[in-house]
Amino acid sequence: MMHFSGRRNRFVLGALAVVCAGVVGCHDAESTAPKTIQTPNGPMLDLGTMIVDVDVRTHKVTMHPADASMTLPPGVSARFFGGPLQIEYATGEQSSLDLGGGVFERNFHWGFSNLLTFAIGTNSPHTYPAFPQDTLGVYMYFSILPKNFTNVSGPCSPPACTVTVDSADGAYPFTTVAAQPYLYWKSILEGGGTGAQAPGPFETDQSTIGGINYFRPLSFRSTGGVLTFRFGVAMAAAWVDPNENRWKVFYVADSLPNRVSLTDLRSEPDWRRLGSTGSAAITPGGCAANTNTCTLTLTSAAGDTIMYYRSDSLRAAQNGYIAGPVTPSALTGVDAGVFLGLKDPAKLAQLGISALLTGFADSTGVISPTFSVATDLSRTSYRITKYGTDSASIFAPAGNLVALVTIPYASLPPAPVRGSGPPNYDRFFFFGNSTASLTSTAATSVWTNVNYEIGATTP
């Protein structure tokens, strides 16, 4: 076994003997990968790269900063990097799987701790052990793909020798033009500071509220009898308010938004689903990721509700928006059949689209005749922006600078109460079909992507 460096009981990626080809790991049949995900754009976008050297002959993993000239304070391990000290990594080997012909599945432990004094992975201030309702999550990405291969004959290179990441959730261009594989945790890492002792609150356990302390695979597939290789990793995550002031989430319709299991989130971050009726499908079948050919089609009958939502807290004083391309059809009646919206603890800013009107709707789907316009099905994208406690506006197209309709904040309908029963979450950002189980109408909506941002009024 490889040597395990670092403290005990930390937040650890488990190592599973997953055998899947290509850059992205096993996903359900409804997924298309690799996914391009808009990640948090804050200070942790690029903390710096940690180089990892793997030697399967001696069963040893070593790490050092990418910049060999980096000066470290006396007594500080190279496991720490960033400025100032921010993240500590710890790693070790799990059992490898010999697939024959010089092909191996190499599996690893992987863990990290937050050494900052504040939490990362969320926008919401909180006091441990109380957690926000939702998380923006933490991304660990391969800033440098596996390279520097050797086998029994010495240095070797593709195609004779290869090492590929076998357990990534998707790919996104964090620091390069080409998309880099990443692993995602829907979790918060509490701040512990450099004096934190394990186990500590910097190792967040949200398992009791549907969050995460779960194992993820970290696996590589090697060919050509590779014995040593090198790669680089870095992290990206949101910093809790007030250490950051904008937080963005972007859903791309290459997979359904909601999780299947803790090891298959399907989108990062994942969305919760409200409504057991209605249907959701990624179309067309087999659409290629990153080509803008994938769409999410939601279909509901009269009386159905199918909603996807997230619970990243939006305070009344904060700006926020939610936007996306949507094509509604099969609309009937005067109440909203398709909707897109956000709320704060006091007010609901919800776009409702019916066969007759498009405008601000209340939680039962009734569209305000004062703050609406006639429905025009040639409109194919919308943005709803809340300007703190001043007003809210609907824009179509989403990128327009002139509002379709604006409503004073005081005239917005009251926000719906927090959901009852499991999952007991506020629906702060949401989209879908049909707003009330008794008054809603039949509808179909087709979505290419949906994005929202806290602390901003436009993308």
Is residue 316's pLDDT more than 90?
A: yes
Convert the pLDDT of each residue in 252-286 to its tens digit: 888 888 877 655 667 788 898 888 788 899 888 77
Is residue 169's pLDDT more than 60?
A: yes
Which of 118-122, 216-220, 338-342, 389-393 shows the lowest per-residue confidence on average (mean pLDDT)? 216-220
Tell which wins on pLDDT, 194 or 272: 272
Which of 54-58, 86-90, 205-209 shows the lowest per-residue confidence on average (mean pLDDT)? 205-209
State the average pLDDT over residues 226-239: 89
Q: Calculate the CA 177 to chain-centre distance.
A: 20
Residue 29 banded pLDDT, cuts 50, 70, 90: very low
Residue 37 banded pLDDT, cuts 50, 70, 90: very low
Beta-strand pair 320-329/443-447: antiparallel
Per-residue pLDDT at 22: 30
Average pLDDT, whole number, for the chain?
A: 78
Q: What is the DSSP string of 344-385?
A: -SSBEEEEEE-SSEEEEE-TTSPEEEEEEEE--TT--EEEEE
**Is the previous residue joined to 132 through a cis bond, with omega within 30 degrees of 0?**
no
pTM of the model: 0.83
Convert the pLDDT of each residue in 324-366 to its tens digit: 999 998 888 788 889 999 999 999 999 999 999 999 999 888 9
Distance from C-alpha of 308 to C-alpha of 49, rounded to nearest angstrom: 35
Residue 49 banded pLDDT, cuts 50, 70, 90: confident
Amino acid at 92: G
Tell which wins on pLDDT, 389 or 244: 389
Distance from C-alpha of 95 to C-alpha of 17, rounded to nearest angstrom: 8
Percentage of residues of the chain with pLDDT beyond 70: 75
Residue 407 banded pLDDT, cuts 50, 70, 90: very high
Is residue 9's pLDDT more than 50?
A: no
Buried b (16+ CB within 10 A) or exposed e, 133-154: bbbbbbbbbbbbbbeebbbeee
Tell which wins on pLDDT, 258 or 22: 258
State the average pLDDT over residues 83-87: 62
Amino acid at 249: V
282 DSSP 8-state letter: E
Per-residue pLDDT at 7: 21
Total count of residues recorded for the chain: 459
Q: Could you give all domains of the chain from N- to C-terminal order, each with its CATH number?
A: 12-237 (no CATH), 271-454 (2.60.120.200)
Which of 2-6, 118-122, 197-201, 235-239 shows the lowest per-residue confidence on average (mean pLDDT)? 2-6
Distance from C-alpha of 246 to C-alpha of 45, rounded to nearest angstrom: 13
Residue 229 banded pLDDT, cuts 50, 70, 90: very high
Q: Is 231 exposed, middle or buried (0-12, 13-18, 19+ CB in 10 A)?
A: buried
- Of 349, 291, 360, 352, whose CA–CA distance to 316 is shortest? 349
Tokens of 24: 């992205």
Tell which wins on pLDDT, 254 or 405: 405
Which of 37-41, 90-94, 410-414 shows the lowest per-residue confidence on average (mean pLDDT)? 37-41
Convert the pLDDT of each residue in 359-391 to its tens digit: 999 988 899 999 999 999 999 999 999 999 999
Distance from C-alpha of 1 to C-alpha of 386, rounded to nearest angstrom: 54
Tokens of 315: 């305070």
Per-residue pLDDT at 211: 46
Q: What is the CB neighbour count within 10 angstroms for residue 457?
A: 14
Range with the largest mean pLDDT of 130-144, 278-292, 355-369, 440-454? 355-369
Per-residue pLDDT at 323: 97
Per-residue pLDDT at 80: 53
Per-residue pLDDT at 190: 79
